[in-house]
A and B are shown apart, each in its own frame.
Chain A
Amino acid sequence: MGLALLLVVWLITFVSTYFFIAHPSWMWLPPVATTYGPQIDSQFTYTYIAMGIVFVAAQVALGLFAWKYRDRGHAAAYYSHGNIRLEAVWTILTAILFVGLNLMGQHIWAQARFQGPSPGSEQVEITGMQFQWYFRYPGSDGKYGRTLAKLEDPSTGNALGIDPDDPAAKDDIVSSTLVLPVNRELDVTLKALDVIHDFFVPEFRFKQDAVPGLLIHMHFTPNRIGDYEIDCAELCGSGHYKMRAGVKVVSEADYQAFLKAPQQWLTEHPWNGPMSRGLMQESEAKPPAPALQLAMRHHQSQAENH
């Protein structure tokens, strides 16, 4: 029985470790697409090397002891109540390891969450509601228009409740696909209109809850052009599983073209990310909410409504 335990525990240990070391790309953190992402990844790597060593050491010892110290009819077990010195050494070593890892990672967190965005960052407002994301750009005036809860109504194309009487709202752009310029720092404002949602883009190494009643400011800099997927990572109701959207990181020229004519640009450059086929089939299955499946200039939609 001791030998069986040794073999099984070791086998489990080595198979798990093998996959951690070999890690084919589909079972690992996806390729990074933001400037601070590599730091997170290296902190992850340090942690997994340290934990991996402890994991292998502990499991190997467990299997070995089970086999080596099995009852072979030998003389009595060694009578000992422990060893204070060993205990102290072990305690200090683990304290250094765990606290050290913690301190190593703090600056990354501080950079991401303590510091605000640099002046002149590109502003985007991200709003979650059951079960759809909306992305708003403030337009050339750099100001978001006022929003009012009583005006929120997806069926009129004004899901965010933007007040048409506010001059700052006139040039706001609302899109259901997020388009971001590459290598520009973003000043992101996260909002939720009904329940808690979570904006998660694995490639960005970015995740943050959007909480009703809170305006949450975040910043990051995408640095790789491409189409990615946004998941809602906080359970938000019966349609949680379909609350996904596309994000396109594009060149500065493309970004300016998008801001000039969002709807047209997105028609010509549809989001072509990893789940586009799924979105397409879903939109074929039922008529899309009016004026929402693609971007629009807010004042244009207001004009149509009047």
Chain B
Amino acid sequence: MGNVQNTPHRADVGVVDSSVQHAAHAHAAPTGFIRKYIFSLDHKVIGLQYYFLALASVFTGLILSVLMRIHLVWPEWAIPGIGIIKDEQYLGLLTLHGTFMVFFVLTTAPQSGFGNYFLPIQIGAADMAFPVLNMLSFWTTFAAFIVMLGAFFTVMPIAGWTSYPTLSALPNAGSLPWGQDLWLLSIALFCAASLMGALNFITTTLDLRCKGMSLWRMPLTCWTWFVTAILGLLAFGVLLSGGLLLLLDRNAGTSFFVPGGLVVNGVQQRHEGGSPLLWQHLFWFFGHPEVYIAILPGMGVASQLLSTFSRKPIFGYRAMVFAVMAIGLLGFMVWGHHMFMSGMSPYTAFAFSLMTMAIGVPSAIKTFNWLGTMWRGKIRFYTPMLFAIGFVSLFVSGGLSGPFLAQPTLDIPLHDTFFVVAHFHLIMGVAAIFGIFAATYYWFPKMFGRMMSESLGRLHFWFTFVGTYAIFMPMHYEGMAGRPRRYGSMVVAGGLFNRLAALMPLEKFISIAAFVTAAAQLIFVINLFWSMKKGEKAPVNPWEATTLEWTIPSPPPHDNFAGNTPVVNHGPYEYSVPGVERDYVMQTDPASVHAH
């Protein structure tokens, strides 16, 4: 973490009010390796631990998706060490791909990773409110990861990341022991860890803001981490209970999700009285807010970066905050749109559909404001900005297929087809990943004290941006043609899935695009690790940005502000202020620099 750690280093800009020095770090800098890097209480170390956990997971998920793409078009290929992938194994691949990506990447990196690292710094705090709880939440997440690997190496669960009962509840229906049980246990642990994290984020945001950092002066990243934490607090508890109930159904003879009178593989089941739809309600009550848990921090990052690199204040700051809140609130009222075809009362569809369409409004406000921020700007195209622009493009493309799926009428042909796969990959998958990439390139200098390579960064951007569209755009057409999702190969027992045989060239195109895009991620990995060692030394504020993390050394000292709690005098996005010499006003600049 660098040798500046023990050097008290005053911020080179900003006014420090000595009266608030009591807010110094709650715990002294550790010296031993284990307390410093393993069981650390420092939010920055914990943030990096989450980040590298997500990095390990994203490459696991990526390799699984490459195997899936191979199986879909070249099912006869024997993979070294694995052999020929069978259709049943394909279900295991998609289950674990979805699980690793949704939980251990999209939930972990943007919120727990970057949020942990930068929320305290951006609000001028020395650490999170509960450092021990913070450590505990990371190590619980890590335990969840290990248990999930256990599911991977015992019997792969095949019920999908949604794990609908009764398939997931009845072992002899295909959800064999160990795999499915470990999956549920891992998810339960993950939920518990996320609850701890959510409490910590909320308390930190409310209680630890430095003097002058009113809520309306918080960077939009902090707003999104804050709202995401509230969503997490309300959503993960529900999945936790659902997961435990399903474990009981599987192992303790209860029947929460299994009705009576079922015969599986010729064996009468002993359950009675449960409802498979109950699980879907519990799961999606979590599952839909989860989509926003994944994407909201990305929106915050995109806002921060578009403003910084366009050298313009964010367009409609308050509208952005209200939009985030509206998305968070509406996000809890729409879970039924995943269940239009489930056998749920058709009368509820109207309400769920209306609420879902309504989410389009705050989403459109955000897009409008991002474009408004770039409008008449002075745009600097550093790699983080490229990914922020990519985020906006993907958010638009993925978002606009939402209003199709939000209508129950159109869900009839489109539900559970590749149209849905295209939709959620573009928006909650790749757009959120672009948010993670943007954040990585943007904050890397702060986290590691060195700059990442711009040329490798650009190369990585172009391959990923074009590759993403090449993979996911054609899937819309496949879905419209009626290609169902979660079907292994399109080749069955020597006979083609003839109705869709014409799609085969497109499938091959998608697979090749996926291989190229996956390989291009090596550019990122090389850049990441090479720059940590060999990158150019980063100055305090390489992007000429305004928020508090850019007032302290790179990397920051143990307690962030070395006991000198900052005082904030300005909003977060004061760029190109007329009459001010520099084209940016730091949040800590004296109030006299720019009167409001």
- Give residues in A with beta carbon < 8 Å to B: 1-2, 5, 8-9, 12, 16, 19, 23, 26-30, 39-40, 43-44, 47-48, 50-51, 54-55, 58-59, 61-62, 65-66, 69-71, 74, 76-84, 86-87, 90-91, 94-95, 97-99, 101-102, 105-106, 108-109, 112-114, 130, 149-150, 152-155, 161, 190, 193-196, 198, 200, 202, 205-209, 211-214, 216, 229, 231-242, 244, 273-275, 277-282, 285
Task: Give chain B nearest CB distance to A79 CB in angstroms.
Answer: 5
6 tightest Cβ-Cβ pairs between the two chains A and B = A278-B495, A213-B259, A202-B482, A82-B316, A27-B477, A113-B346
Q: Which of A28, A153, A214, A229 contacts B343 (CB 8 A)?
A: A214
Of chain B, the residue at the smallest CB distance from A30 is B482
Q: Which of B315, B469, B499 contacts A275 (CB 8 A)?
A: B499
Q: Are B357 and A231 in contact (CB under 8 A)?
A: no
Cα separation A58 to B265 with both chains bound (whole Å): 53
In this complex, which of B173, B401, B411, B484 has the most chain A Cβ atoms within 10 angstroms of its Cβ? B484
Task: Give chain A nearest CB distance to B345 CB in angstroms.
Answer: 9
Given A235-B164, A237-B167: A30 in contact with B365 (beta carbons within 8 A): no
Of chain B, the residue at the smallest CB distance from A1 is B381
Quick check: is B198 within 8 A (CB to CB) of the other chain? Answer: no
In this complex, which of B173, B263, B386, B411 has the most chain A Cβ atoms within 10 angstroms of its Cβ? B263
Task: Give chain B nearest CB distance to A46 CB in angstroms.
Answer: 10
Q: Are B316 and A211 in contact (CB under 8 A)?
A: no
Q: Are A71 and B404 in contact (CB under 8 A)?
A: no
Q: Are B361 and A44 in contact (CB under 8 A)?
A: no
Q: Are A76 and B392 in contact (CB under 8 A)?
A: no
| Beyond known contacts A59-B397, A149-B261: 13 more, CB 8 A cutoff | A29-B480, A40-B412, A40-B413, A54-B400, A87-B365, A95-B361, A98-B403, A102-B353, A106-B409, A235-B91, A242-B493, A275-B495, A278-B498
Q: Are A51 and B404 in contact (CB under 8 A)?
A: yes
Cα separation A211 to B266 with both chains bound (whole Å): 18
One digit per residue, 1 when the CB lies within 8 angstroms of any chain A CB and 0 when it does not, for chain B 483-518 equals 010111100111111110011001000000000000
Scan residues 370-385 of chain B and give those whose CB is less than 8 A from a CB of chain A: 371-372, 374-381
Q: Are A9 and B393 in contact (CB under 8 A)?
A: yes
Q: Are A5 and B389 in contact (CB under 8 A)?
A: yes
Given A91-B361, A211-B276, A233-B484: A58 in contact with B367 (beta carbons within 8 A): yes
Given the complex, which residues of A lie within 8 Å of B487, measured CB to CB?
Answer: 231, 240-241
Given the complex, which residues of B lie within 8 Å of A190, measured CB to CB?
Answer: 343
Given A9-B393, A23-B477, A233-B417: A209 in contact with B343 (beta carbons within 8 A): yes
Cα separation A273 to B462 with both chains bound (whole Å): 44
Q: Are B396 and A55 in contact (CB under 8 A)?
A: yes
Q: Are B583 and A77 in contact (CB under 8 A)?
A: yes
Given A16-B473, A194-B166, A274-B498: A209 in contact with B313 (beta carbons within 8 A): no
Given the complex, which residues of A lie within 8 Å of B258, measured CB to CB?
Answer: 212
Given the complex, which residues of A lie within 8 Å of B349, measured CB to CB?
Answer: 109, 113
Task: Give chain B nearest CB distance to A188 CB in angstroms.
Answer: 13
Given A47-B407, A55-B397, A95-B361: A195 in contact with B495 (beta carbons within 8 A): no
Cα separation A200 to B315 with both chains bound (whole Å): 46
Given the complex, which residues of A lie within 8 Å of B158, measured CB to CB?
Answer: 235, 237-238
Task: Give chain A nearest CB distance to B572 CB in angstroms.
Answer: 12
Task: Give chain B nearest CB distance to A77 CB in angstroms.
Answer: 4
Q: Are A69 and B412 in contact (CB under 8 A)?
A: no
Cα separation A207 to B369 with both chains bound (whole Å): 39
Quick check: is B312 within 8 A (CB to CB) of the other chain? Answer: yes
Given the complex, which residues of A lie within 8 Å of B374, measured CB to CB?
Answer: 62, 65-66, 69
Given the complex, which residues of B lie within 8 Å of A82, measured CB to CB?
Answer: 313-317, 319, 369, 372
Task: Give chain A nearest CB distance to B363 CB in angstroms.
Answer: 9
Q: Are A12 and B466 in contact (CB under 8 A)?
A: yes
Given the complex, which residues of B lie within 8 Å of A273, measured CB to CB?
Answer: 499
Task: Give chain B nearest CB distance to A58 CB in angstroms.
Answer: 5
Q: List 12 A-B residue pairs with CB atoms under 8 Å apart, sorted by A's residue number.
A: A8-B462, A12-B469, A54-B396, A65-B377, A71-B378, A71-B380, A77-B377, A82-B315, A101-B403, A207-B413, A231-B487, A237-B173
Task: Give chain B nearest CB distance to A176 CB in angstroms.
Answer: 16
Quick check: is B63 within 8 A (CB to CB) of the other chain? Answer: no
Q: Are A51 and B403 in contact (CB under 8 A)?
A: yes
Q: Are B392 and A62 in contact (CB under 8 A)?
A: yes
Scan residues 166-191 of chain B and give those whose CB is less than 8 A from a CB of chain A: 166-167, 170, 173-174
Q: Which of A27, A54, A84 contacts B481 (CB 8 A)?
A: A27
Of chain B, the residue at the smallest CB distance from A74 is B378
Of the candidate stretches B17-25, B545-553, B555-563, B573-581, the one touching chain A is: B573-581
Given A65-B375, A113-B349: A98 in contact with B416 (beta carbons within 8 A): no
Q: Are B379 and A98 in contact (CB under 8 A)?
A: no
Q: Which of B88, B277, B315, B360 contacts A211 (CB 8 A)?
A: B277
Quick check: is B249 within 8 A (CB to CB) of the other chain? Answer: no
Given the complex, which residues of A lie within 8 Å of B543, measured CB to CB?
Answer: none
Cα separation A238 to B473 with both chains bound (whole Å): 28
Q: Are A198 and B266 in contact (CB under 8 A)?
A: no
Of chain A, the residue at the smallest CB distance from B392 is A62
Task: Give chain A nearest CB distance to B133 CB in angstroms.
Answer: 37
Cα separation A65 to B317 with both chains bound (whole Å): 20
Given A102-B407, A235-B486: A198 in contact with B341 (beta carbons within 8 A): yes
Given A233-B417, A234-B416: A195 in contact with B377 (beta carbons within 8 A): no
Q: Are A19 and B477 in contact (CB under 8 A)?
A: yes
Q: Which of A8, A50, A54 contacts B465 (CB 8 A)?
A: A8
Given the complex, which residues of B lie within 8 Å of A95, measured CB to CB?
Answer: 358, 361
Of chain A, the residue at the smallest CB distance from B574 is A79
Given the complex, which residues of A lie within 8 Å of B473, measured CB to CB?
Answer: 12, 16
Given A2-B381, A62-B392: A279 in contact with B167 (beta carbons within 8 A): no
Q: Which of A9, A102, A195, A244 contacts B167 (CB 8 A)?
A: A195
Given the complex, which residues of A lie within 8 Å of B368, measured CB to CB?
Answer: 86-87, 90
Q: Are B401 and A51 in contact (CB under 8 A)?
A: yes
Given A58-B396, A62-B389, A202-B482: A79 in contact with B578 (beta carbons within 8 A): yes
Task: Give chain A nearest CB distance to B546 CB in angstroms.
Answer: 13
Given the complex, which residues of B lie within 8 Å of A281, measured CB to CB?
Answer: 493-495
Q: Are B166 and A212 in contact (CB under 8 A)?
A: yes
One digit per residue, 1 when the CB lies within 8 angstroms of any chain A CB and 0 when it does not, for chain B 53-75 equals 00000000000000000000000
Cα separation A27 to B500 with both chains bound (whole Å): 9
Given the complex, which residues of B lie within 8 Å of A150, measured CB to CB?
Answer: 268
Cα separation A109 to B258 with both chains bound (whole Å): 29
Q: Are B502 and A44 in contact (CB under 8 A)?
A: no
Quick check: is B364 within 8 A (CB to CB) of the other chain? Answer: yes
